[in-house]
Amino acid sequence: MGRPGGGEGWNWPQVNNPPDLTGLCAPRMISRNRVQALEWVGMTNSEQIIMACCADIAGQVRGKGFPESDLPLRLQRGVGWTPTNVQITCFDVIADSPFGALGDLALVPDPAAAWVIHDPTGDPVEHVMLGDIRTLEGEPWSCCTRSILKTALQRLQDVAQLSTTVAFEHEFQVSGGLAGDSGSAYSLAGARSGAEMGRRIFRLMTRNGLRPDTFMKEFGADQFEVTMKPADGLAAADRAVILRELVRVAAREQGQRASFTPIRDPAGVGNGVHVHISLNDADGQPVTHDPDSETGLSAVAASFAAGITTFLPDILAMLAPSAISYLRLTPHRWSAAFNNLGLRDREASVRICPVTSLDPLAIARQFNLEVRACDAAASPYLQLAAIIHAGTEGIVRGLGAPRVTEADLSALAAEELAAMGIERLPTTLDAALQAFADAGVIGEWFGAEFRDVYLSHKRGELAVVQGLSPEEMCARYAAVY
Ligand code: GLU
Ligand code: MG
């Protein structure tokens, strides 16, 4: 085969001088020509492996590799995948599976959700594409987390002609010698101790099409936070999966280990994932804000927020899906303990975020809701899908704006909370799974097959840590996430 394509702006390199792959598969940047380029590169560079991966129920990235030269074929056909893989828990124990040893699926990589990591000589050493799991007939598989998110986004589009702008905010802790010192919270000294790691993270993000926003030394011991610029819902979830991997790589390059475990020490603060969401109309114009409303939320955004707070107890098992997530979701940890909407309140599970400009258009674009009850034991696809379905249900039902809370809700009696229409969120994974199982909407939004698989997966995970002390559980999860 000769060189593919020709023309169309491509300046083909010498055969003995393969093109630089830097950024080749940066999210949303690959073109047909680039695929052809890869095909051609593959002829001289066939030892390169591309991993086709999914981010599964366990929040783990799993997949299979293939030679780079096969990319055009694999973009069509995918790699073979086994249904029961969905029941591999975070502890590698396989939970009860309705599929047993039967069945076959295709995991089809999407070049729009890819990353490449190079070694110091510039050679690509890790090349991954996230993708969708399809049936052999090409249909989205009922338990494919990424397809589940696509379905949720489509539902919002269908019922309200709305799209989303989303950003995931991540906290993590490092072990192996960075800022453990007391007095380092939010400090320059703390940031300085993590500066080299931060630079590596920003570099890896930029090279892979993720736009860094902030990096800082967070409050907890060895805890840092990284945020990125928003993107459309699917791209934002792809990037959340990618970011977690890039942070791990950046820490490892320095001999450290980054952990996104929901909480490392039962007596400490947790590592949250905060999901920022705003809504856009069919023309892409922001519609979350209404300067004349009391909360600043537009009517449709208020219904969306009400959907999230109303169904939060039912979806919590998808947002905070580990046994130790519930050690984090307790009052006074700046996480989320009640299904409330708060204005600039870091104890609220849904927070109306501050805006920083006097320019009305900029305010409209900035205005967003932050869902704080999430952690990185979950697949970002499932987290966002659950939030979108709940918010969309709020729009479908025409729910009115939730009451905005200002008080310390943990100081109120249950009756006072009930009078405000607020409840304490489930306090264990077991209780959250029961709420998930009992809520009729879960089957409607996600299908009965996924619901049952999810329940049995999570119950299988719980069985592994049953009887362990909180400290022992935290150690088990910290080893995974
Ligand atoms: N660490 C807190 C959490 O678990 C969040 C602290 C903050 O950034 O407000 O969500
Ligand atoms: Mg934070």
Indicate if ligand 1 lies below 6 Å from the C-beta of 152.
Answer: no
To test the pocket of ligand 1, the residue of 214, 344, 346 to mutate (highest count of ligand atoms within 8 Å of its CB) is 346
Indicate if ligand 1 lies below 6 Å from the C-beta of 28.
Answer: no
Q: Please tell me the predicted confidence (pLDDT) of residue 24.
A: 39
Indicate if ligand 1 lies below 6 Å from the C-beta of 334.
Answer: yes
Q: Please tell me the predicted confidence (pLDDT) of residue 27.
A: 35
The residue whose CA is least distant from atom 6 of ligand 1 is: 334
The 3-state secondary structure of the chain reads: CCCCCCCCCCCCCCCCCCCCCCCCCCCCCCCHHHHHHHHHHHHHCCCCEEEEEEECCCCCEEEEEEEHHHHHHHHHHCEEECHHHHHECCCCCECCCCCCCCCCEEEEEEEEEEEEEECCCCCEEEEEEEEEEECCCCCECCCCHHHHHHHHHHHHHHHHCCEEEEEEEEEEEEECCCCCCCCCCCCHHHHHHCHHHHHHHHHHHHHCCCCEEEEEECCCCCEEEEEECCEEHHHHHHHHHHHHHHHHHHHHHCCCEEECCCECCCCCCECCEEEEEEEECCCCCECCECCCCCCCECHHHHHHHHHHHHHHHHHHHHHCCCCCHHHHCCCCCCCCCECCEEECCCCCCEEECCCCCCCHHHHHHHCCEEEEEECCCCCHHHHHHHHHHHHHHHHHCCCCCCCEECCCHHHCCHHHHHHCCCCECCCCHHHHHHHHHHCHHHHHHHCHHHHHHHHHHHHHHHHHHCCCCHHHHHHHHHHHC
pLDDT in tens, 448-468: 999 999 999 999 999 999 999
Model confidence at 45, pLDDT cuts 50, 70, 90, reads low
Indicate if ligand 1 lies below 6 Å from the C-beta of 127.
Answer: no
Which segments of the chain belong to CATH 3.10.20.70? 27-141
Q: Which ligand is nearest to the CA of 372?
A: 1
pTM surpassing 0.85? yes
Q: For residue 260, report the distance from its CA to the centre of ligand 1, in Å.
A: 12
Question: Which stretch of 18-27, 193-202, 424-433 has the lowest confidence by average pLDDT?
Answer: 18-27
Mean pLDDT for all residues in the chain: 88
Fold of 27-141: Ubiquitin-like (UB roll) (3.10.20)
Q: For residue 45, report the distance from its CA to the centre of ligand 2, in Å.
A: 42
Query: Domain 149-480 - what CATH class?
Result: alpha beta
Q: For residue 319, report the distance from its CA to the centre of ligand 1, in Å.
A: 15
Q: Which comes out higher in pLDDT, residue 180 or 178?
A: 178
Q: Please tell me the predicted confidence (pLDDT) of residue 21.
A: 37
Which segments of the chain belong to CATH 3.30.590.10? 149-480
Model confidence at 182, pLDDT cuts 50, 70, 90, reads low
Q: Which ligand is nearest to the CA of 332?
A: 1
pLDDT in tens, 5-38: 222 221 222 223 333 333 333 333 344 444 444 4
